[in-house]
């Protein structure tokens, strides 16, 4: 039976244009979605936009637009980024859609019916930038007397208003028991520990409605309140499965396999969300993985410094797959990293142009010139050939082990070990010399190289879909033989190969 795999990105706030950080989360999720599709899983991959709340309402006001007109415009920009990054999402959800309002209200009613919601008054700190409530002990006082959230540096304001509350305090023990039984639920482990100590420290009931503004989903039966934007937003993961319709075509995708999130929003996904789901009697997701943040040329990306960088001009300059590769190769997933042009150029020149690109080009142009432009005959294999082929044979399992831990950079390092070995193999076997002395042996060496390139190209498809499609075309691999299930097959001797063309450019740093 095929396995269902449901993966999500966070839904992006539409208070500003998409930047490198958003593209990062989306590319990582896309690589996982593609990886699972090629493995034969039935995948549902969701992304979208988070369009309600005070922060978005304020951004619309600044732009001089009505909130809906403003969110329509910014959501279109996020859709454009999604398309330009070749994100293979199956759905794009916007929280202003009717299907989502219906789902959020249905979940609210279910929580209310279960006795998990009561009316009270909120008196405390709120950060519009983080759309989060903070306790006094989570704040730092600046020299000028203003207060900011210690974790994020976001300013807070004092709020007093009627509010509905969710009985989060009742879930401390159940959550701790759940984390205990599902040690992989929160990753990486440092984040898990952070959440464990937060929950062990005690949970207070959570304010889940606001009355001081109107840009949100109405609370059922009490239109003076709009839902707290995080309750609204988290429900998106259910909405897309057709919730509350248990017969909806995608209903069976719930619970999600994995929520991919940035490190600053782990608490919402690993504490509040499971508590809401437990309270509603719904199954919990398989896991939540928190990735790190990018700085740009050593600087934090921030509104105040205006150095948010859009990935699209970089894609135009360097190429889509070069950017996709770099984001996941440069920094261990889960860690913070710094984006610099110098490193982008150095790494992609070394590993793409001079590494994989050169290996493909060297092999294929040699075949075009000296072996009739067809996949050469295998002949008798030598130990060196077998050693390289064995290494290629072990690659799927090695990569899978890394991908299962979301260690993208390690999965890629496994591929590059093989590429380096194949480079050494060509130098040592020197097909250019064999051409004069032993054409049968030359054919075997080239056949071995084509076989190894085929495995590499199939396995790298999730990271660089277009570039690997081009390489697989050049290797004469049929479109229906590019799945992981096809890895055990081999290239077919005599297949006519198209004229080889380089797949990765080499960059010169003008700076
Ligand atoms: N709307 C909420 C998520 C709701 S999910 C139910 C939100 N949106 S966001 O637009 O602020 O951020 C979305 C994602 O972008 C987060 O995963 C965040 O970590 C990521 N990034 C934003 N800036 C980033 C960097 N500088 N670097 C890496 N990723 C960062 O939070």
Say what the pLDDT of residue 2 is.
87
Q: Is 22 close to ligand 1, i.e. is its CB under 6 Å away? A: yes
Domain assignment present for 498: no
User: Quick count: other Cβ atoms within 10 Å of Cβ 409?
Assistant: 15
Q: Report d(CA 293, CA 219) in Å as an integer.
A: 34
| DSSP characters over 360-410 | HHHHHHHHHHHSTTBPPP--SPPHHHHHHHHHHHHHHHHHHHHHHTT-HHH
Nearest CA to ligand 1 atom 25: 21
Q: What is the CATH number of the domain that holds 428?
A: 1.10.730.10
Domain assignment present for 20: no
Say what the pLDDT of residue 300 is.
86
Mean pLDDT of 222-243: 98
Say what the pLDDT of residue 305 is.
66
Ligand 1 mean position to 25 CA, how many Å?
8
- Ligand 1 atom closest to residue 301's alpha carbon, by position in its atom list: 26
- Ligand 1 atom closest to residue 22's alpha carbon, by position in its atom list: 15
- Ligand 1 atom closest to residue 50's alpha carbon, by position in its atom list: 1
Q: Per-residue confidence at 204, pLDDT binned at 50, 70, 90? A: very high
Res. 222: pLDDT tops 60:
yes
Domain assignment present for 301: no
Query: In DSSP terms, which residues pair with 295 in a beta bridge?
Result: 300, 338
Q: Is 13 close to ligand 1, i.e. is its CB under 6 Å away? A: yes
Q: Is 24 close to ligand 1, i.e. is its CB under 6 Å away? A: yes
Domain assignment present for 122: no
- pLDDT tens digits for 285-335? 999 999 999 999 888 887 666 778 999 999 999 999 999 999 999 999 999
Q: Which of 431, 444, 422 is nearest to 360 (CA)?
A: 422
- Ligand 1 atom closest to residue 269's alpha carbon, by position in its atom list: 6
Say what the pLDDT of residue 307 is.
77
Res. 71: pLDDT tops 90:
yes
Q: Report d(CA 465, CA 34) in Å as an integer.
A: 9
pTM of the model: 0.97
Weakest mean pLDDT among 36-50, 138-152, 356-370: 138-152
- pLDDT tens digits for 382-400? 999 999 999 999 999 999 9
Say what the pLDDT of residue 130 is.
93
Mean pLDDT of 137-146: 92
Tokens 């203003």 identify what position?
146
Mean pLDDT of 113-125: 97
Q: Is 294 close to ligand 1, i.e. is its CB under 6 Å away? A: yes
Q: Per-residue confidence at 510, pLDDT binned at 50, 70, 90? A: low
Ligand 1 mean position to 363 CA, how many Å?
42
Burial of 348 (0-12, 13-18, 19+ CB in 10 A): buried
- pLDDT tens digits for 435-456? 999 999 999 999 999 999 999 9
- pLDDT tens digits for 12-65? 999 999 999 999 999 999 999 999 999 999 999 999 999 999 999 999 999 999
Percent of the chain with pLDDT over 90: 95
| Tally of domains in the chain | 1
Q: Is 262 close to ligand 1, i.e. is its CB under 6 Å away? A: yes
Weakest mean pLDDT among 31-40, 96-105, 122-131: 122-131
Nearest CA to ligand 1 atom 17: 262
Domain assignment present for 370: yes
List of residues 6+ apart from 145 with CB closer than 8 A: none
Tell me the torsion sign for CA atoms 234, 239, 240, 241. Answer: positive
Q: Which of 442, 501, 496, 438 is nearest to 469 (CA)?
A: 501
Q: Report d(CA 47, CA 234) in Å as an integer.
A: 12
Greatest C-alpha distance within the chain: 89
List of residues 6+ apart from 75 with CB closer than 8 A: 14, 49, 51, 94
Tokens 């929520």 identify what position?
259
Domain assignment present for 106: no
Res. 511: pLDDT tops 90:
no
Domain assignment present for 403: yes
Q: Report d(CA 83, CA 86) in Å as an integer.
A: 5
User: Quick count: other Cβ atoms within 10 Å of Cβ 386?
Assistant: 12
Res. 424: pLDDT tops 80:
yes
Domain assignment present for 39: no
DSSP 3-state helix, strand, coil percentages of the chain (rounded to 5)?
50, 15, 30
Nearest CA to ligand 1 atom 24: 21
Ligand 1 mean position to 229 CA, how many Å?
15
Q: Report d(CA 367, CA 376) in Å as an integer.
A: 8
Give me 484's structure tokens.
């992981």
Nearest CA to ligand 1 atom 5: 10
Q: Is 261 close to ligand 1, i.e. is its CB under 6 Å away? A: yes
Ligand 1 mean position to 19 CA, how many Å?
10
Query: In DSSP terms, which residues pair with 43 in a beta bridge?
Result: 5
Of 262, 298, 307, the residue with max ligand 1 atoms within 8 A of its CB, to mutate for a pocket test, comes to: 262
Res. 413: pLDDT tops 80:
yes
Mean pLDDT of 497-505: 95
Q: Report d(CA 191, CA 331) in Å as an integer.
A: 17
Say what the pLDDT of residue 301 is.
84
Residue span of the structural domain in which 445 resides = 341-486
């Amino acid at each position: 039976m095929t396995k269902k795999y449901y993966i999500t990105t966070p839904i992006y706030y539409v208070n500003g244009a998409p930047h490198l950080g958003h593209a990062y989360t989306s590319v990582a999720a896309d690589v996982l979605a593609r990886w699972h599709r090629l493995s034969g899983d039935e995948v549902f991959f969701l992304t979208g936009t988070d369009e309600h709340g005070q922060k978005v309402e304020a951004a619309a006001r600044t732009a001089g637009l009505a909130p809906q007109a403003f969110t329509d415009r910014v959501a279109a920009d996020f859709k454009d980024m999604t398309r330009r990054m070749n994100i293979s999402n199956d759905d794009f959800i916007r929280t202003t859609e009717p299907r989502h309002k219906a789902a959020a209200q249905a979940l609210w009613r279910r929580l209310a019916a279960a006795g998990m919601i009561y009316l009270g008054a909120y008196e405390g700190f709120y950060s519009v930038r983080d759309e989060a409530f903070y306790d006094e002990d989570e704040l730092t006082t600046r020299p000028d007397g203003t207060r900011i959230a210690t974790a994020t540096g976001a300013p807070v304001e004092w709020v007093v208003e009627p509010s509905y509350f969710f009985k989060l305090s009742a879930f401390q023990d159940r959550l701790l028991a759940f984390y205990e039984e599902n040690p992989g639920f929160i990753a990486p482990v440092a984040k898990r520990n952070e959440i464990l100590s937060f929950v062990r420290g005690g949970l207070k009931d959570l304010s889940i409605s606001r009355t001081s503004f109107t840009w949100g989903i109405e609370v059922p039966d009490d239109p003076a309140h709009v839902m707290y934007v995080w309750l609204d937003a988290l429900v998106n993961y259910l909405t897309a499965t057709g919730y509350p319709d248990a017969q909806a075509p995608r209903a069976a995708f719930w619970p999600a396999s994995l929520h991919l999130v940035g490190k600053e929003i782990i608490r919402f996904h690993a504490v509040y969300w499971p508590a809401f789901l437990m309270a509603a009697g719904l199954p919990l997701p398989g896991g939540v993985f928190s990735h790190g943040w990018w700085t740009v040329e050593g600087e934090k990306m921030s509104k105040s410094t205006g150095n948010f960088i859009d990935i699209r001009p970089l894609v135009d300059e360097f190429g889509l797959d070069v950017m996709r590769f770099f984001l996941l190769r440069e920094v261990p997933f889960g860690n913070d990293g710094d984006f610099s042009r110098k490193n982008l150029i150095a790494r992609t020149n070394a590993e793409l142009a001079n590494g994989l690109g050169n290996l493909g080009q060297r092999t294929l142009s040699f075949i075009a010139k000296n072996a009739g432009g067809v996949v050469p005959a295998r002949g008798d294999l030598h130990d060196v050939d077998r050693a390289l082929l064995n290494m290629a044979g072990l690659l799927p399992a090695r990569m899978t082990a890394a991908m299962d831990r979301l260690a993208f950079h390690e999965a890629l390092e496994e591929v590059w070990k093989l590429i380096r070995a194949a480079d050494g193999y060509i130098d040592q076997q020197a097909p250019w010399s064999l051409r004069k002395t032993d054409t049968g042996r030359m054919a075997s060496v080239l056949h071995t190289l084509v076989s190894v390139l085929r495995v590499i190209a199939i396995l790298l498809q999730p990271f660089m879909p277009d570039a690997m499609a081009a390489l697989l075309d050049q290797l004469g691999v049929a479109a229906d033989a590019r799945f992981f299930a096809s890895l055990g097959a081999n290239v077919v001797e005599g297949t006519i190969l198209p004229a080889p063309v380089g797949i990765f450019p080499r960059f010169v740093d003008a700076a």
